[in-house]
Amino acid sequence: MTISDEPRVLLVDDDRELCQMLTEYLNAEHFDVKSVHDGGDALEELKAGEFEILILDVMLPSIGGFDVLRKLGASYATPILMLTARGDDVDRIVGLELGADDYLSKPFNPRELVARMRAILRRANNRPARPGAPDELIVGPINLNTGTHLVHVGGKSVPLTGAEFRVLELLMRSAGQVISRDAMTENALGRKLVAYDRSIDTHISNLRRKLDLEAGKNPELKNVRGSGYTLTWAHA
């Protein structure tokens, strides 16, 4: 594999020793890593160059990780993996709401970081074509185009993150059927569901809010207790 084949990674963390260790580890795993230690520097790097994935710590000097996400916007195209404090559900939820694709709690095993990164990149860059699958999915007022990655509700464009888009696509392809949290995590996020992982629930909450899919409305995004989620649409 040549350098040009290696995914470019922007690593943003104020722990310089951790950055050095991760850079060496990721280089050995065939990633091309650029590390910075502040949110402001991260924004400058993102303006100046293209990266396949952004690894962003929450706690940063000057401009923090959440502020970086806000400045990038929820529709920012490059996949983002957040690094959060262990057990801090607030950081995880806020990060996902602001547009992060996934998160990893500190301290972590570098092997898990690589596995998460590769899962995200597979979803972002190597999405397999589905023979016979339509480019456009329609459920009631919701229109999703897999070619343009655009979603409209009642003709109005609704910006979604990459993970939210994939979750919605799964729900729309199986409208009326229940999809388990395990299946959604594996197919939309590219990894296995583990204990205390509430990422799918956060993405579902974001979709309800962005698409105005409140309980009792039509269409409705339902939580089937003990089973998973389903998108229902009662034809008028």
Question: Which three-class secondary structure state does DSSP give residue 183?
Answer: helix
- Residue 32 banded pLDDT, cuts 50, 70, 90: very high
170 Cβ contact list (under 8 Å, min separation 6): 179, 183, 184, 187, 188
Whole domain around residue 13: which residue ranges?
Answer: 3-125
Q: Which helix (H) or strand (E) holds 68?
A: helix 65-72
pLDDT of residue 149: 82
CB 8 within 8 A of CB 55: no
Residue 138: what are its φ and ψ, rounded to 5°? -130, 125
Q: Are residues 88 and 201 in the same domain?
A: no
- Domain check: are 170 and 87 in the same one? no
| 101 and 209 inside one domain | no
Domain limit, last residue, from 58, 90, 125: 125
Q: Are residues 106 and 29 located together in one domain of the fold? A: yes
Q: pLDDT, tens digit, for every residue of 41-80?
A: 999 999 888 899 999 999 998 899 999 998 887 667 788 9
- Reply yes or no on whether the pLDDT at 101 is more than 90: no
Position 101 in a domain: yes
Verify that 119 and 187 share a domain, yes or no: no
HSE, CB side, 13 Å, CA atoms: give it for residue 44: 8
Cβ-count burial 16-38 (b if 16+ within 10 Å, e if not): eebbeebbeebeebebbbebbbb
C-alpha 8/C-alpha 187 separation (Å) is 24
Given 97, 125, 153, which residue is the final one in a domain?
A: 125
For residue 31, tell me if it sits in a domain. Answer: yes
Our count of domains for the chain comes to 2
> Are both 198 and 96 inside the same structural domain?
no
Domain-embedded: residue 131: no
| Cβ–Cβ < 8 Å for 72, 48 | no
Q: How far apart are CA 205 and CA 214, in angstroms?
A: 10
Cα distances from 5 to residues 8, 30, 80, 212, in angstroms, run: 9, 8, 20, 41
Please answer whether residues 19 and 57 qualify as being in contact, where contact means their C-beta atoms are separated by less than 8 angstroms. no
Number of H helices, E strands in the chain: 8, 11
Q: Does 111 share its domain with 142?
A: no
Report pLDDT for 131: 47
114/216 same-domain check: no
Domain with 12 in it: what CATH number? 3.40.50.2300
Overall pTM > 0.85: no
Q: Which residue has the higher pLDDT, 83 or 215?
A: 83
Mean pLDDT over the full length of the chain: 85
Is the domain of 91 the same as that of 183?
no
**Tell me, what CATH number does 209's domain have?**
1.10.10.10
Residue 119 has pLDDT above 70, yes or no: yes
